[in-house]
C-alpha cells in the first residue's frame, strides 16, 4: 500500500493523468465526428480515385499543387472532403476563370461522373465532409424550424428572404434561389468562400434538412405581395415611394407653371 501511495504522489502522476484524459477526449471527439458524418455517402472505387487524380493534375494542380498541398494561387485541399469539391466544381466556381475577391458561379465544366471522380480523389487525401445522402435532400423537413435556424445563422448575410446581400471588399453572399438541395447542404457543411462552416455539431443533419425545406418553400411561393424590390423590405419600398412621389410633385409643379404662363 505504501508503494502504491508513493507512485500516486510521483511528480509525473498529474502529467500522466492529463495526457490520458486528453487522449480519451480526443478519441471520443474523433469517433463522434465520424459518426456525425455517417449520413453521407463515402464509397468510391480505386478506379474513380485514379481517374480523379488525372483530372486533378490536368485541371487543378496549377493552383492547388500536384499533391493538393496548396500554393500561392490556391489553398491546400487536403482534408476538405468530397462535399467541398462537389460544391465548388458542381456549381462552376472551380476551376476559376480569374482571380478575384471570391469565385463566381458559372456554367459547369465537368459532367457528373468527372465531378464524382474529382471528389473521390480529394476525399482520398484526407478525411472531410462527404457528399450528403438523399434522405437529407428530400424537402421533407420542418419548414418552421428551418426558418428559425436560417434566420439565426444565415439571414445576416443571405437576407431573411435568401435574396443575397453585399459583404466587404467586393465580396457578397449569393441568392439561394435556384440552388440545388445538395449544394445548399454542402455549402453549410463546408463553408465555401466567406461562409462559416456549420458542421454537424453546429447545425445537425436534420436541421440542415429543415433549412433546405424552408428555402425551397419560400422559393416556390415567389413574391405574393407584388414586386420583390430586392427583398430588402421597407428600405427599398420607402425609397421607391419617395422617388415616385417626388417625381409626381416635380411633374405637377412643371405642369402648373406651364399653365400659368
One DSSP character per residue, 21-61 reads HHHHHHHHHHHHHHHHGGGEE----HHHHHHHHHHHHHHTH
63 labeled part of a ligand binding site: yes
Residue 70 near residue 166, CB atoms below 8 Å: no
CA distance 176 to 93: 15
60 labeled part of a ligand binding site: yes
Domains delineated in the chain: 42-131 (1.10.760.10), 132-224 (1.10.760.10)
11 labeled part of a ligand binding site: no
128 labeled part of a ligand binding site: no
CA distances in angstroms from 58 to 53, 55, 66, 118, listed in the order given: 9, 5, 9, 11
Please list the alpha-helical segments (H only) found in 99-178.
112-123, 143-153, 155-158
179 labeled part of a ligand binding site: no
CA distance 242 to 152: 32
DSSP three-state, residue 62: helix
Q: What percent of the chain has pLDDT over 90?
A: 56
Of 177, 170, 199, 174, the residue nearest 186 (C-alpha): 199
Per-residue pLDDT of the chain in tens (261 residues, 90 and over written 9): 455 555 555 666 666 767 787 777 766 655 555 544 444 445 678 999 999 999 999 999 999 999 999 999 889 999 999 999 999 999 999 998 888 889 989 999 999 999 999 999 999 999 899 999 999 999 899 999 999 999 999 999 998 889 888 898 889 999 999 999 999 999 999 999 889 999 999 999 999 999 999 999 999 886 655 555 555 556 666 777 788 888 888 888 888 888 765
C-alpha cell at 205: 443533419
C-alpha cell at 45: 472505387
For the chain, give the number of residues: 261
Phi and psi, residue 101, nearest 5°: -60, -35
* pLDDT at position 256: 83
H or E segment to which residue 172 belongs: strand 172-173
Question: Residues 153, 157, 158, CA angle at the centre, nearest 5°?
Answer: 90
One DSSP character per residue, 202-225 reads TS-HHHHHHHHHHHHHHHHH--TT
160 labeled part of a ligand binding site: no
CA distance 57 to 236: 48
C-alpha cell at 257: 407653371
CA distance 76 to 177: 30
Amino acid at each position: 500500500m505504501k508503494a502504491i501511495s508513493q507512485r500516486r504522489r510521483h511528480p509525473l502522476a498529474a502529467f500522466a493523468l492529463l495526457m490520458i484524459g486528453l487522449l480519451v477526449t480526443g478519441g471520443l471527439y474523433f469517433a463522434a465526428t465520424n459518426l456525425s458524418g455517417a449520413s453521407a455517402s463515402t464509397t468510391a472505387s480505386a478506379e474513380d480515385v485514379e481517374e480523379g487524380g488525372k483530372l486533378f493534375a490536368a485541371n487543378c494542380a496549377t493552383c492547388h499543387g500536384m499533391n493538393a498541398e496548396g500554393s500561392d494561387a490556391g489553398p491546400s485541399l487536403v482534408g476538405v472532403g468530397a462535399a467541398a469539391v462537389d460544391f465548388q466544381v458542381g456549381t462552376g466556381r472551380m476551376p476559376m476563370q480569374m482571380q478575384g475577391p471570391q469565385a463566381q458561379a458559372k456554367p459547369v465544366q465537368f459532367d457528373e461522373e468527372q465531378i464524382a471522380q474529382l471528389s473521390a480523389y480529394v476525399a482520398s487525401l484526407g478525411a472531410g465532409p462527404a457528399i450528403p445522402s438523399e434522405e437529407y435532400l428530400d424537402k421533407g423537413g420542418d419548414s418552421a424550424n428551418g426558418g428559425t435556424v436560417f434566420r439565426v445563422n444565415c439571414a445576416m448575410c443571405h437576407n431573411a428572404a435568401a435574396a443575397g446581400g453585399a459583404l466587404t471588399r467586393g465580396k457578397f453572399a449569393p441568392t439561394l434561389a435556384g440552388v440545388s438541395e445538395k449544394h445548399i447542404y454542402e455549402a453549410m457543411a463546408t463553408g465555401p468562400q466567406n461562409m462559416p462552416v456549420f458542421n454537424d455539431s453546429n447545425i445537425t443533419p436534420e436541421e440542415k434538412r429543415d433549412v433546405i425545406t424552408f428555402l425551397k418553400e419560400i422559393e416556390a411561393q415567389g413574391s405574393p405581395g407584388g414586386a420583390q424590390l430586392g427583398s430588402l423590405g421597407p428600405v427599398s419600398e420607402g425609397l421607391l415611394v419617395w422617388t415616385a412621389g417626388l417625381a409626381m410633385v416635380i411633374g405637377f409643379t412643371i405642369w402648373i407653371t406651364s399653365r400659368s404662363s
